[in-house]
């Protein structure tokens, strides 16, 4: 079902946790709220789930105003950060719980529990207690419990935080597959930008109780609307320059011409590290500079370099690396670096 929140304000004492949030999650959409801790994303989630009532604003599920509805009447499935599995109940009993609360018949419960267990591939674990399961299995039980009663909306509160990286990646894909298959309207909360980029249909970047930008992952990544968003998502080189017409003066690189003219005066330019070229590739680039390699960090599939162009700010470059490749340049060496004007995004000031 479609979720719509509008004009949500929530204060705790003197602190404003949410300061006018408008957001709509379309039916079947996977929307991620991405933000640092303290940005208000958890409060937003609690307002949607019904564990907090906002001071102002409206929460709508489908065509119903549920702002004041108690959590148990909202028909919203939620996966908690720590899963909140009931430790004294078996996996099957955990799954049966929401159905019992809805007075579903015994036979029907048994059938649906079996179905849900099959869905998350835990058929053999029905009679286990949560503590007898691995972290990943617990996570899947929590997910199954949140969707078994056919909720109008699925809420995921940083559900992958406690898992190790490999497991996290496989579960992320599994959750996404399941969500698509069941066409579940999903609101996902995370502070992990990589996770947000991988999983979402759209991302809402939150900071200071407001949504800073709402868009598809590539929109948010390539065209951040503010310094905060540019900095928070991915790695970035933010360069201060001066614009005059379509000409922008970039320290260390001189003047370059942009396809579209920003407002004249000081501008902030975003140059993603992977857009920066090095050595032979840089020779062909329209904007070039000589730079000293300060530091090299080996990352497996890529290598990251910290560079200092003559007369310019320090820059990060990330170069893909094949297994047999030698390091691009030793620390202290002088290399040519460059980029194309099309790789530059002008970050609006505000």
Q: Interface with other proteins includes 223 (CB under 8 A)? A: no
**Whole-angstrom distance, CA of residue 112 vs CA of residue 97:** 12
The H or E element spanning position 347 is strand 345-347
Name which of residues 6 to 35 contact other proteins (CB under 8 A): 6-7
Which of 3, 34, 45, 50 is close enough to bind other proteins by CB under 8 A? 50
Among the listed ranges 50-58, 184-192, 226-234, 322-330, the one in contact with other proteins (CB under 8 A) is: 50-58
- Minimum separation from the CB atom of position 110 to other proteins (A): 18
Q: Which is nearer to other proteins, 6 or 226 (CB)?
A: 6
Name which of residues 259 to 318 contact other proteins (CB under 8 A): none
**Whole-angstrom distance, CA of residue 125 vs CA of residue 202:** 35
- Minimum separation from the CB atom of position 32 to other proteins (A): 20
Q: Interface with other proteins includes 101 (CB under 8 A)? A: yes
Among the listed ranges 75-83, 168-176, 186-194, 236-244, the one in contact with other proteins (CB under 8 A) is: 75-83
CB 279 within 8 A of CB 221: no
Q: Interface with other proteins includes 40 (CB under 8 A)? A: no
- Minimum separation from the CB atom of position 131 to other proteins (A): 12
Among the listed ranges 53-61, 244-252, 292-300, 323-331, the one in contact with other proteins (CB under 8 A) is: 53-61
Which of 13, 14, 88, 280 is close enough to bind other proteins by CB under 8 A? 88
The H or E element spanning position 317 is strand 315-320
Q: Interface with other proteins includes 130 (CB under 8 A)? A: no
Q: Which is nearer to other proteins, 94 or 200 (CB)?
A: 94
CA distances from 324 to 294, 300, 327, 331 (A): 23, 11, 9, 19
Q: Which is nearer to other proteins, 72 or 177 (CB)?
A: 72
**Whole-angstrom distance, CA of residue 299 vs CA of residue 243:** 36
Q: Interface with other proteins includes 51 (CB under 8 A)? A: yes
**Whole-angstrom distance, CA of residue 103 vs CA of residue 215:** 40
- Minimum separation from the CB atom of position 49 to other proteins (A): 6
**Whole-angstrom distance, CA of residue 201 vs CA of residue 191:** 16
Q: What is the DSSP string of 235-271?
A: --EEEEEEEETTEEEETTTEEEE-SSPPPSEEEEEEE
Residue 103: both structure tokens together: 């007075």
Give the residue among 4, 8, 21, 23 at the shortest CA–CA distance from 54: 8
Write down the H helix ranges in 148-211: 165-182, 193-199
- Minimum separation from the CB atom of position 113 to other proteins (A): 14
CB 214 within 8 A of CB 202: yes
**Whole-angstrom distance, CA of residue 309 vs CA of residue 276:** 12
Q: Interface with other proteins includes 149 (CB under 8 A)? A: yes
Q: Interface with other proteins includes 159 (CB under 8 A)? A: no
Q: Which is nearer to other proteins, 11 or 304 (CB)?
A: 11
**Whole-angstrom distance, CA of residue 171 vs CA of residue 177:** 10
Q: Which is nearer to other proteins, 68 or 263 (CB)?
A: 68
CB 157 within 8 A of CB 45: yes
Which of 28, 57, 135, 348 is close enough to bind other proteins by CB under 8 A? 57
- Minimum separation from the CB atom of position 35 to other proteins (A): 20
Binding residues for other proteins (CB under 8 A): 6-7, 49-58, 67-68, 70-72, 74-78, 80-82, 84, 86-88, 97-98, 101-102, 145, 149
């Amino acid at each position: 079902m479609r979720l719509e929140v509008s004009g949500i304000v929530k204060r705790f004492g003197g602190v404003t946790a949410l300061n006018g949030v408008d957001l709509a999650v379309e039916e079947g959409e996977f929307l991620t709220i991405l933000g640092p801790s303290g940005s208000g994303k958890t409060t937003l989630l609690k307002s949607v789930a019904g564990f907090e009532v906002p001071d102002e604003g409206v929460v709508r599920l489908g065509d119903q105003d549920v702002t004041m509805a108690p959590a148990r009447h909202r028909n919203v499935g939620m996966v908690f950060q720590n899963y909140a599995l009931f430790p004294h109940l078996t996996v099957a009993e955990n799954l049966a719980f929401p159905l019992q609360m809805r007075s579903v018949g015994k036979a029907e419960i048994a059938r649906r529990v079996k179905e849900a267990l099959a869905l998350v591939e835990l058929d053999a674990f029905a009679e286990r207690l949560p503590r007898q399961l691995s972290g990943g299995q617990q996570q899947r039980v929590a997910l199954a419990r949140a969707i078994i009663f056919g909720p109008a909306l699925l809420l995921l509160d940083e559900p992958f935080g406690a898992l190790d990286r490999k497991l996290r990646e496989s579960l992320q894909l599994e959750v996404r597959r399941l969500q698509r298959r069941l066409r579940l309207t999903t609101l996902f909360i995370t502070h992990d930008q990589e996770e947000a980029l991988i999983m979402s249909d759209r991302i809402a970047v939150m900071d200071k109780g407001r949504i800073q930008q709402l868009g598809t992952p590539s929109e948010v990544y390539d065209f951040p609307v503010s310094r905060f968003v540019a900095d928070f998502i991915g790695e970035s080189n933010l360069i201060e320059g001066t614009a005059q017409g379509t000409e922008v003066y970039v320290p260390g690189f001189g003047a370059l011409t942009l396809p579209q003219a920003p407002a004249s005066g000081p501008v902030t330019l975003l140059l993603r590290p992977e857009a920066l070229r090095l050595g032979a590739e840089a020779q062909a680039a329209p904007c070039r500079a000589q730079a000293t390699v300060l530091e090299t960090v080996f990352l497996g599939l890529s290598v990251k370099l910290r560079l200092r162009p003559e007369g310019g700010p320090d820059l990060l470059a990330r170069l893909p690396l094949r297994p047999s490749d030698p390091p691009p340049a030793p620390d202290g060496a002088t290399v040519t670096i460059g980029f194309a004007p099309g790789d530059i995004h002008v970050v609006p000031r505000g």
